[in-house]
Structure 1
Amino acid sequence: MKIYDEKHIKNVVFVGAHGSGKTTLAETMLFEAGLINRRGTVEEHNTISDYHAIEHERGISVFATPLHTEWRNYKINIIDTPGLDDFIGEIISSIRVADTVVNVINAKNGCEIGTEIIWNYIDKYHKPMLFVINQLDHVNADFEQSFASIKKLVGNNVVKVQYPIVIDGAFCLIDVLKMKLYKFPPQGGKPEKLDIPDSEKEKADTLHNELVEKAAENDEELLEIFFNKGTLNEDEMRQGIKMGMTNHDLFPVFCVSALNDMGTGRLMGFIDNVAPATADLKPEQSIEGKTIVSDKAVPTTLFIFKTFHQPNLGQVTFFKVMSGTVNVNDKFVNSNNGETEIMNQLFIMDGKNRSTVNKLAVGDIGATLKLKYTETGDTLCYKGHQVTLKPIKYPDSRITKVVSALSKNDDEKLNEALKKLNSQDPTVIIAFSKETKQLLLSCQGELHLATIRWMLEHLYNIEAEFKKPKIAYRETVQRSSTANYRHKKQSGGAGQFAQVHLKIEPWYEGLEEPEGFNIRGKEIVALPWGGTLVFYNCIVGGAIDQRYLPSIMKGVLEVMESGPLTKSFIRDVRVIVYDGKMHPVDSNDISFKIAGAYAFKEAFLNSNPKLLEPTNRLTVKVPEDMVGNVMTDLQTRRAIIQGIESEGNYQVLKCTCPASELYGFSTALRSLTQGRATFSSVFTSYESVPANVQNDFIKQVALEEIKI
């Protein structure tokens, strides 16, 4: 396979809403370039891109798939991404390594919800982007409406390079950059290149002048040429458009019918000649503050953007060559963990097909097999030239479930499978809650969860169940209370004896020292589960020997690990041990531990105990016309609205909400807003539970104990 230099490699990622035709466009580009002899279709399950069984079964793209094509001495690496934001991890990682984003729009629908969500990430990464309005030969296509929706989304920097017309029943495109008309045969393919007809000359001239002005705005020299000549030639326009795209200030619009192979050749020509390459973009900065130069003469740096575990093949690792050149058998250091990796094999991947190569140049995208210590987001570099590229930042999870194997024999298999799923999709988060003793799986939505279930069943032969997770409540006290407990046990030989008198009180930062006690010692314990225990030794007259105080505190801490109300952790109390008795022979550490535990438990139950629930800070970004419905839903979840801010056509709601009420919120929000709203949720504090909720939960825990 031919090796291309950095100026002749273009990396594009296809993004767009579900059904916009990304996979079909990629297939047509490979066919147009002659890399495949027959175009597959999504319906027939034979495209190069969507090759996974789950994609065939569901009729959607689930994974980002790297492909490549070659067109007029350029190599175009294509990453075809899913159109549903449940798979946003696949989309974001692909955008991260792309030089240009190709945003595909369905001409029947214009900008859809998926387009809007993905645009927010493109804008955040400041990537060059062009729009492709697809399916323009469909009977319900509306080019002008689609263009208007793009303009509404990204602003006035969007500009037409082409627009469609029908002449004598034939589908045609007028290109205002080249000022030519492309007339396509009914079966698609190579068009006839003609002059623009007189009936369209005025419109084409107007759009051409608009494109010239937009191109000239991006460079002072071009602007001066434009003022002097009143226009730019084609090469100057290309230069200006490239600079505008590179600066994320200009978004050209192209027209195609991918299904009928109309306009794809011209699109590939534009990507070759105009779309920025890696070397044209602003160099990346490493975490260490070093500049990563896109040059083949500098030490090699690879960025890992995707990992996939393929049955019968193992781990496939996809990377972009950020600098230098990578050769077979090159040895690298993973700068994220210090481990050494060897590139035993190098591939160009086209779906499931692998083409072996001996080396890859800077700017190119490739893959290798069976790296032992490397995961998505890692950086590989030469020893002595360590750099660490910034990792991919993924959005927070939107739903969390308890996951377990239906068969206990599959527990180990399940853990291994979940590790692999997290490795290939970092938005699948796996964590074990020591408190609730549950294995938690967090992901992006119900569809994302359904694909995880499918993969567990079909790829790993594991039947798993997913349940609502328990909420990690806390218990504390509302008033002071005293108690004493005598532990006495005699069963022949040495016995056990201890008596402890103690007082417990609510504790908070800044609380004054207790009055009426002779404080002999004080210990502040920062509890592992949050909150504080303050333990006072106020023993006078030697009623209890000093050496038994740590045992009393151990007994108290044991009870605090499983509170009397709901078996939840206890927090924020202070305990004052002020009296007791001991026996010169029968008293020991275990006796005082038991006495301290029982005394604390009795005092706790008499101190008007209350339940605390975790509360989250919730930020919800909602379209203006949908705020009312979302606020109504939030109020039913005991949320407290703390503020509303405007952000473009959106309103940002800021509130606090009990974590227990957020179960199912992601699904409800998607339903209420047709998927246009987004949210983030972060734990903030523990707050008191309303009395009715507390009583219901205590009854529920009691019933569960009876069942056990």
Structure 2
Amino acid sequence: MKIYDDKHIKNVVFVGAHNSGKTTLAETMLFEAGLINRRGTVESKNTVSDFHDIEHEKGNSVFATPLHTEWRNYKINIIDTPGLDDYIGEIISSIRVADTIVTVLNGQYGVEVGTEIIWNYIKEYHKPTVFVINQIDHPGLNFETGYNSIKNLVGNKAVKIQYPLIVDGAQCIIDVLKMKMYKFSPEGGKPEKLPIPKDQKDTTDALHNELVEKAAENDENLMELFFEKGTLNEEEMRKGIKAGMLNYDLFPVFCTSALNDMGSGRLMGFIDNVAPAAMDLKPEMSVEGKQIMPKPDASPVLFVFKTVHQPNLGQVTFFKVKRGEVRLNDKLVNSRNGETEVINQLFIMDGKERNPISKLVVGDIGATLKLKHTETNDTLAAPGEEISIQPIEYPQPRIRRAVSAVNTKDEEKLTEALKKIHSQDPTVEIFFSNESRQLILTCQGELHLATIDWLLKKIYGVEAKFENPKIAFRETVQRPSASNYRHKKQSGGSGQFAEVHLKIEPWDENMPEPEGFNIRGKEEVDLPWGGKLVFYNCIVGGVIDQRYLPSIMKGILEVMENGPLTGSYIRDVRAMIHDGKMHSVDSNDISFKIAGAHAFKKAFLNADPKLLEPALDLVVKVPEEMVGNVMTELQSRRSIIQGIESEDNYQVLKCIAPESELFGFSTELRSLTKGRATFSTKFNGYQAVPSNIQDNLTNKRELVQ
């Protein structure tokens, strides 16, 4: 394959809502450039990018797929992404390594929910962006509405480069940068280039002048030329448009019919001539605080942005060359773990097709196979380099499920499969909860979960079941309580004897020491599950030998691991051991451990015990007109609204919500807002469970017992 230098490589990512036509546009570009002989369609399940079985079955993109095309001595790397935000991890990682974002809109609807959600991530990365209004030959096209929706999204920074027009029954595109009209046959393809029709001259002149002014605004030299000449030529305009895109002050708007091959060649020409390349962007800062200059003659630095596990290939690692060049048999070191990897194979990937290549230069995107110690977000660099590229930050998970194998013999197989799914999609997280004894899976939504289930069944051969995870309740006390317990057991020979008198109280950080006791010793135990046990030795007169106190505390801690109300952990209690009895022959450690446990349990049940539940900080971003319905839903889930802030056309609701009430919230929120709202959660702490719910939970435990 031809090797392009860093000045002739452009990296674009196609993003947009579901059914906007991203995959079809990518297919058309490959066809237009002659890299494929026949255009596939999503319906026929034969496109280059949607090649996975699950994508054929569901009829939409599930994975981000790197492709490439070549146009007029430029190489354009394209990453075709899914349109559903359940797969946001695929979208974010692709945005991270692209130099220009191509946001594709369905011409019937303009900016949709999916576009708005993706736009929030584009803003975070501050990447140059082109908008493409697709399906211009559809009967339901509403170009002006679509264009206005872009302006609502980005403001007056949006500028038309093209607009569609029907002339004598033929589909045309007016280009106000080149000031030409492109006329297409019904079959599309190469258009006829014609002068601007007279009845469009006033419109095109006004749009051209607007474009000239916006181009001039972003470069002082161009501004001087503009004042001097009153206009700019095409080359000068291209320079100004690129500067505006890099400054995030100009968003060009194009139009296409990807399905019927109209306008894709002109879009590729713009990507070649105008869209920024890796060399144009600001240098990245490494984790160590060093600038990573995209120099072709420096030592190589690769950033891994995607990992795929394919049954017939093993691990495929996708990377972008951030500096230097990488060649076959290069030895590079992983900055995360210090392991050396050998690049035995290099490919440019087009869907499932692998195109071998001898080297890749700075700014290019490629893939290699069977790296042993490398995952997504890793940096590979020359030996001796201390450099780590800032990792991709993925959104917090939105749903949690306990997952287990239907056939218990498959548990190990399930764990291995889930590790590979996490490696491929870091927004899927897996951990084992020691408290609930469950394997917990977190992901982005119900559709995401269904995809994971499909992969487990069809790719890894594991039947899994998903359930709501057990809630990690805590138990504590609300008032002081005293009790005692005598343990006596005689069965021939030495027996068992111990008597323990104690008092317990709720504990908090700033409370004074207990009154009425002669405190001889104090031990604070930081509990592994949070909170404390504060243990006081208040024994006077040697009624219990000092050596038995650790056994009493051990008995108390065993009860605290399995609370009397629901079997949950107990926290934030202090216990004063103030009296008791022992026997010179029959007393031993086990006797005092048993007596301490029973005395503590008895006191606990008489101390107005309270169940605590985990509460989360919940932040919901919702369109203004939908706030009422969402607030009603939140209140029905026992959420407490802490504040409301405005952000663009959205309201941001900040709440504290019980974790137990958020099962199914993701699905309900999507239904209430037609997918336009997003939310995030973070652990806040523990709060008291309402009495009626506590009674219900404790009654259920009694029934089970």
Partner of 1:222: 222
Partner of 1:15: 15
Partner of 1:313: 313
The secondary structure found in structure 2 opposite 1:156 is: helix
Matches within 5 A, 1:376-525: 376-525=376-525
Partner of 2:341: 341
Query: Which letter maps to 2:361?
Result: A
Matches within 5 A, 1:33-72: 33-72=33-72
CA distance in 1, matches of 2:606, 2:426: 48
Shift of 1:142: 1.1
CA distance in 2, matches of 1:702, 1:647: 49
Between 28-37 and 476-485, the greater mean CA deviation after superposition: 476-485
Partner of 2:29: 29
Partner of 1:364: 364
Matches within 5 A, 1:350-361: 350-361=350-361
Shift of 1:493: 2.6
Cα displacement string for residues 406-450 of structure 1 (whole angstroms, at most 9, x for unaligned residues): 000100000000000000000001111111111111110111001
Query: Which letter maps to 1:223?
Result: M
CA distance in 2, matches of 1:228, 1:700: 84
Query: Which letter maps to 1:323?
Result: R
The secondary structure found in structure 2 opposite 1:114 is: helix
Partner of 1:662: 662
The secondary structure found in structure 1 opposite 2:654 is: strand
Question: Do residues 625 (structure 1) and 612 (structure 2) align?
Answer: no
The secondary structure found in structure 2 opposite 1:604 is: helix
CA distance in 2, matches of 1:464, 1:331: 40
Partner of 2:269: 269
CA distance in 1, matches of 2:293, 2:100: 18
Matches within 5 A, 1:610-621: 610-621=610-621
CA distance in 2, matches of 1:463, 1:405: 6
Cα displacement string for residues 76-133 of structure 1 (whole angstroms, at most 9, x for unaligned residues): 0000000000000000000000000000001011110000000000011100000011
CA distance in 2, matches of 1:249, 1:191: 31
CA distance in 1, matches of 2:422, 2:145: 41
Shift of 1:197: 1.5
Partner of 1:124: 124
Query: Which letter maps to 1:447?
Result: L
Query: Which letter maps to 1:616?
Result: L
CA distance in 1, matches of 2:647, 2:281: 29
Shift of 1:337: 1.4
Query: Which letter maps to 1:641?
Result: I
CA distance in 1, matches of 2:658, 2:186: 60
Shift of 1:199: 1.1
Task: Compute the TM-score of the two structures, normalised by the length of structure 2.
Answer: 0.99
Shift of 1:186: 1.5
The secondary structure found in structure 2 opposite 1:68 is: strand
CA distance in 1, matches of 2:322, 2:490: 76
Give the alignment's Cα RMSD to 1 decimal.
0.8
Query: Which letter maps to 2:303?
Result: F
CA distance in 2, matches of 1:204, 1:148: 18
CA distance in 2, matches of 1:268, 1:202: 28
The secondary structure found in structure 1 opposite 2:156 is: coil
Shift of 1:156: 0.6
Query: Which letter maps to 1:63?
Result: F
Cα displacement string for residues 39-92 of structure 1 (whole angstroms, at most 9, x for unaligned residues): 000000000000000000010100000000000000000000000000000000
Shift of 1:701: 2.3
Partner of 2:108: 108
CA distance in 1, matches of 2:338, 2:597: 48
Shift of 1:617: 1.1
The secondary structure found in structure 2 opposite 1:607 is: coil
Partner of 2:86: 86
The secondary structure found in structure 1 opposite 2:241 is: helix
Between 367-376 and 486-495, the greater mean CA deviation after superposition: 486-495
Shift of 1:702: 2.6
Query: Which letter maps to 2:692?
Result: N
Shift of 1:492: 2.5
Query: Which letter maps to 1:301?
Result: V
Cα displacement string for residues 152-187 of structure 1 (whole angstroms, at most 9, x for unaligned residues): 111110000011111111111111101111111111
CA distance in 2, matches of 1:321, 1:97: 10
Shift of 1:379: 0.6
CA distance in 2, matches of 1:174, 1:687: 62
What stretches of structure 2 of length at least 5 have no aligned partner? none
Q: Kindly report structure 1 stretches of 4+ aligned residues shifted beyond 6 Å.
A: none
The secondary structure found in structure 2 opposite 1:642 is: strand
CA distance in 1, matches of 2:252, 2:211: 9
CA distance in 2, matches of 1:702, 1:597: 20
CA distance in 1, matches of 2:336, 2:27: 36
Cα displacement string for residues 654-688 of structure 1 (whole angstroms, at most 9, x for unaligned residues): 11111111111111111110011111111111111
CA distance in 2, matches of 1:214, 1:700: 68
Partner of 1:600: 600
The secondary structure found in structure 1 opposite 2:210 is: helix
CA distance in 2, matches of 1:135, 1:521: 79
CA distance in 2, matches of 1:77, 1:595: 72
Query: Which letter maps to 1:542?
Result: G
Partner of 2:570: 570
CA distance in 2, matches of 1:397, 1:298: 39
CA distance in 2, matches of 1:702, 1:32: 71
Between 479-488 and 259-268, the greater mean CA deviation after superposition: 479-488
CA distance in 1, matches of 2:186, 2:631: 52
The secondary structure found in structure 1 opposite 2:193 is: strand
Partner of 2:192: 192
Partner of 1:648: 648
Shift of 1:490: 2.1
CA distance in 1, matches of 2:371, 2:699: 52
Query: Which letter maps to 2:505?
Result: E
Shift of 1:607: 0.8
Shift of 1:338: 1.2
Query: Which letter maps to 2:675?
Result: G
Query: Which letter maps to 1:85?
Result: D
CA distance in 2, matches of 1:249, 1:442: 38
Question: Do residues 279 (structure 1) and 311 (structure 2) align?
Answer: no
What stretches of structure 1 of length at least 5 have no aligned partner? none
The secondary structure found in structure 1 opposite 2:630 is: helix
Shift of 1:494: 2.3
Shift of 1:583: 1.4
Shift of 1:26: 0.2
Question: Do residues 203 (structure 1) and 203 (structure 2) align?
Answer: yes
Partner of 1:2: 2
Matches within 5 A, 1:171-182: 171-182=171-182
CA distance in 2, matches of 1:702, 1:115: 51
Cα displacement string for residues 244-283 of structure 1 (whole angstroms, at most 9, x for unaligned residues): 1112111000111001101000000000000000000000
Shift of 1:614: 0.8
Identity %: 72
CA distance in 2, matches of 1:319, 1:699: 56
Query: Which letter maps to 2:316?
Result: V
Cα displacement string for residues 474-523 of structure 1 (whole angstroms, at most 9, x for unaligned residues): 00001111111111222223222111111100111111111111000001
Partner of 2:302: 302
Query: Which letter maps to 2:255?
Result: C
The secondary structure found in structure 2 opposite 1:574 is: strand
The secondary structure found in structure 2 opposite 1:333 is: strand
CA distance in 1, matches of 2:620, 2:262: 42
CA distance in 2, matches of 1:585, 1:327: 80
